[in-house]
Each structure stands twice: as C-alpha cells, then as structure tokens.
Amino acid sequence: MKHPSHFARVTPDKVAYRMARSGETMTYAELDARSNRNAHALRALGVGQGGNVALLFENRLDFLALAWACQRSGIFYTAINTHLAAAEIAYIVGDCDATVAIVSDTFAACLDDLAAACPTARFFVCGGASPPERDWKALAAGQPATPVADEAAGADLLYSSGTTGRPKGIVRRFEPRPIDTVIPALMSSLCETIGGMGPDTVLISPAPLYHAAPLRFAMMTAMLGGTALVTEKFDAEEVLQQIETWGVTHGQFVPTHFVRMLKLPEATRARYRHDTLRVVYHAAAPCPRDVKAAMIEWWGPILVEYYASSEANGVTLATSQEWQRFPGTVGRSLTGPIVIADEAGQELPPGEIGAVYFDSGVQFEYRNDPEKTAAAYLRPGCATFGDIGHVNEEGFLFLADRKAYMIISGGVNIYPQETEDLLVSHPAIEDVAVFGVPNEEMGEEVKAVVQLRAGIDGTPETAREIIAWCRARLSHYKVPRSIDFRSELPRTPTGKLLKRLLRDEYWAGRR
C-alpha cells in the first residue's frame, strides 16, 4: 500500500482518474501537484491538522484533488449530498464544524444563502466566474506544488443519507499518522487482499462520490496505483459500454444498478464485452435473490457482496460461491462476532431474527447526538447499524430489513424487504417500496408503492394483477393489501430507498 505521491514519482504520467463520459483525465503527477496546492491553500486559511472542511461537488476531478489535499494534510473532509436543499446543506456544514466550505460552480447561486446560514465557515467556489475573495482556483493556483511541512493522514467524515431521519455524522478524532495510513483500515483488506486490486486495476463505481463506498473505493484505487473511472451520471447501457471501452477490471455497484442493467433488452446487453471484469463489489442495499442470481449467470461468479456502514465498526463479506451455498446471505463477519439480540437486549440463537450487532470492540459516536449514540450499543464495543436479521449455524448473516420499517400487523412481524425483493422481479415493475400503513383493526397493513416500466399504465386492473401474482408466490400476510402508483420513487443516487418520505405521507396526523 502506497500513497499517490509515491506513484507521482514512479509513474507520473499514468492516469489516476478519468471522467468516464468526457474522457478528461488527471495523472498521478497532476493529482500530486493539485492536492499539494490545495493543501497549502487550506493551511493559509488556518485549517490545521484535525480541522474540518466541507465539500459540495458533483462527480468531477476537482473534488478528488480537494479530497486528497485534506487526506495528506490531516484534515477531516465532509462530502455533502448534492441533492439536499440549502437548509439541509447548511445543517451539515454547521454540524461538522467546517471552517472552510468549497462548492463547485454549479452551486454558486446558493452561496450567499449558505454563507448567511453558516457564519462560522468561509465559503469558496471552485470553477466558473467567482468574486476574487471566493475564487478557490485562484487561491490554490498561487500556492506551492510541494507538500505542506506538517503532512499527516486526514480522513472522510461523512453523513448518512438520512433514510430513517436527519443525516448523522460519525465523530472522528485526529491522531497524527503517516499519509499512507488507510482510514478506515478495513478498506485495505477489502480492496487489496480480497479484491486483488493493484496498479493494473481499472475501477468503475457509477455512483456519487459524496457517499462512503464510491469515495473510499476511488481513494483506495489511487493508493494502489490503479485508475478509477469517475462516472458523471449512471446510465445502464453507457456503463456497459464504458466497461468494454476502458477494460474495467473492478466494479463497485448497488443493486439498483443491477436491476436497471438486467432490464435492458437482451440484444443491448449482449452487445458489450465484460470479460475484463475480475471482481464486482456490491453493497448499500439488500440485493434481491433473483437479481443476484441473474448477475452471476451473466457476469460469472465474480460478485463480492459486503455489508458495512460509515460507522466502520463491522463488515461482512460473501463471495459468489458462498452466496450460492446460502442464497440471500450478506456473508460472514470480518471484524468480530455478530450478535443477534431481541428488544430486551438478550442474545438470540442462530435462526432467530433480531437486531444485528457487531461485537468488534470498535467504539464510535454520532456527532452532537449522545442519545442516538447510546441507543446503538448493546454494550461497549458491540453496536448496531439499525438493521434486523439472523445468522445461520455457519455464522452467515441474513438481513430482514431496517428495524424502523418492520410492519406489525395484528401482532405479526412482517419484514417488507422480502416482499420488495419479489415485486421488483415482476416484468411490469421498475421500482417498488413496501411499508406499513394505518389499519384500524390490525394496527398496520402492507402497502406497496410501485413505479411501472415505461409504457405500462397504473390502472386498478394492473394493481389487482400484481397483487394476485404476489399472492401466488408469497405468504398471504406478506402480500400488499393495496398498491399505489408513482412516476418515480425517492432514492438516493447510490440506490438507497428513502422509504420514510413515502411512509410519512400515509401516517401524517396519525402518530
């Protein structure tokens, strides 16, 4: 494991990052110079070791040059979701204690509002026409291309996507460590040891860099001397073309990407080669069994599924072969025992469903939220991400759903993920969300909100047909009692379903 500055010396002209659509590149020599200039600019603004910086960028090379500047100068960097409203962005800038916030020129129009809402942070625009006092590129251009004198390893400080509430950040405490330190450390084994990534790696990760997995895989690729393709926006056919064009060896996807690629016409899928692929990681959301099986049949047994989170206190991993032995598993733990516990905190035996905890010994805190921190722990060093599931006798984990989305109907616990996984395989359905809605007699009943494929009408007859199709394949109490149709479901760009936004509509005024 090396730092990109090493590759800037030994392979300066090699491409570290390439924009997949435009072809724009940044070599290791350019990455080294740009990250050094950015680091000096941050020091000039008073951001020292252990300081915090906020970054608001769509996928582009400027963002990566800034992330590496923070990484090599001991700074915590918070990448912000570009789809958030100004008030939500301001909340994160303030909550992460950023003293400097840098945004792309795409967001220049809202800069005054953000600056007014966050008076403790200095705001700059990277690119475009900017006032001199806010022009980041002009500030950085006048700085040295050599390292700052007090280099140290910085790290990302990311916020959740807010699928069950307000985004939360993880507290990170600064320790002066060499710049080739991998944070979190588990990324080293996931990429290098398990994935075989190295200088010949060409990675594609068609998701926004403000999320943990895309960002960390992009950073790890440069620490291993490879080349990462940065996709401007996910398009199912375009990704297949990019895999063939650039000879992609490794991919990092989410199940929504798989679903959309599989629903391309067979002739389209057959048009592109994928034989350069060696390892395809996927995570971020449970993958429906039929979807996973179809991807393995198409691309071969090269899929590696992992289950982890920004808290970095636990991770499981399942190879394709392990998944084929135990369909539906997200793997075995790499970081300590998995504990399944009931509502009272009592440990449950294999096969019984409860809250999933990692007994890894790793401690974390949610920023400015001691109650949420305390609720995550079963005991010191044994914490949960908020999911429920069970383990089998061999220690393989199976997820049921987020605890917050469990439906209790007539005293029976229903886990909507199973129903969603079935419905997404229906030929008429593009996307689906299943959750509980009020029922006077039963407390809750199962509701499905469906996005149909293009050209299919959301009629009462279509709803009845889908319910009948589901009833023929699933226990009756798991079948939706009703279906509503939407033109699009709310998902983050990494594929996480914002189910609470839908569910809250049906529970408004009820609790």
Position 161 scores a pLDDT of 60
Rg (CA), the chain: 23
Q: What is the pLDDT of residues 139-154, one digit of tens each?
A: 999 999 999 999 999 9
pLDDT value at residue 511: 52
Nearest to 195 by CA among 307, 258, 254, 280: 280
The separation between CA 406 and the C-alpha centre of its own chain, rounded to angstroms, equals: 22
Best CA proximity match to 221, nearest among 234, 236, 205:
205
Residue range 73-85: average pLDDT?
91
Closest CA to 155 of 220, 107, 104: 220
What pLDDT band is residue 162 in, cutting at 50, 70 and 90? low
Fold classified for 21-188: Rossmann fold (3.40.50)
User: Quick one: pLDDT at residue 494?
Assistant: 63
Alpha-carbon gap, residue 136 to 41, rounded angstroms:
9
pLDDT tens per residue, range 272-314 = 999 999 999 998 777 888 889 999 999 999 999 999 887 878 8
pLDDT at 165 over 60: no
Is 407-507 the same fold as 21-188? no
Say which residues have a Cβ less than 8 Å from residue 102's Cβ, sequence separation at least 6: 53, 54, 55, 56, 57, 66, 123, 124, 125, 126, 136
Domain ranges of the chain: 21-188, 407-507
HEC per residue, 414-478? ECHHHHHHHHCCCCCEEEEEEEEEEECCCEEEEEEEEEECCCCCCCHHHHHHHHHHHHCCCCHHH
- In CATH, which superfamily holds the domain spanning 407-507? ANL, C-terminal domain (3.30.300.30)
Q: Tell me the torsion sign for CA atoms 1, 247, 307, 62.
A: positive
Q: Which comes out higher in pLDDT, residue 368 or 355? A: 355
Better pLDDT: 411 or 454: 454
Alpha helices in 271-310 (DSSP H): 289-299
State mean pLDDT over 65-71: 98
Q: Quote the CA–CA distance of 181 and 82 in Å, as a whole number.
A: 28
Cα–Cα dist 324/14, whole Å: 38
Say whether pLDDT at 98 is over 90: yes
Residue 509 has pLDDT above 70, yes or no: no
What SS3 state is found at 240?
helix
- Report residue 357: phi and psi, to 5°: -120, 145
Greatest mean pLDDT among 25-34, 302-311, 370-379, 477-486 lies in 25-34
Check whether 38 has a pLDDT greater than 90.
yes
C-alpha count within 13 angstroms, C-beta hemisphere, residue 207 = 29
Tens-digit pLDDT profile for residues 434-445 = 988 888 777 789
- In our burial notation (b when 16+ CB lie closer than 10 A, e otherwise), range 425-456 reads bbebbbbbbbbbbeeeebebbbbbbbbbeeee
Average pLDDT across the chain, whole number: 91
Strand, coil or helix: 484: strand
Cβ atoms of 288 and 421 within 8 Å: the answer is yes
- Residue 23's region, left for phi above 0, alpha for psi from -120 to 50, else beta, is left
Assess contact for 387 and 399: CB atoms under 8 A: yes
Which helix (H) or strand (E) segment holds residue 268: the answer is helix 266-270
pTM of the entire structure?
0.82
Pairing of strands 52-56, 76-79: parallel
The mean pLDDT of 82-104, rounded to a whole number, is: 90
Quickly list H helices, 234-354.
236-246, 255-262, 266-270, 289-299, 320-325
Evaluate the omega torsion of the peptide bond into residue 255 and state whether it is cis, within 30 degrees of 0: no
Give me the pLDDT at residue 163, please: 47
| Cβ–Cβ < 8 Å for 395, 338 | yes
- Asked if residue 358 lies in contact with residue 336, where contact means CB atoms within 8 angstroms, the answer is yes
Predicted pLDDT of residue 322: 97
Question: Tokens 């050599």 identify what position?
Answer: 146
**Is the pLDDT assigned to residue 164 strictly greater than 60?**
no
State the CB neighbour count (10 A cutoff) for residue 346: 10
Residues 6+ apart with CB under 8 A from 501: 490
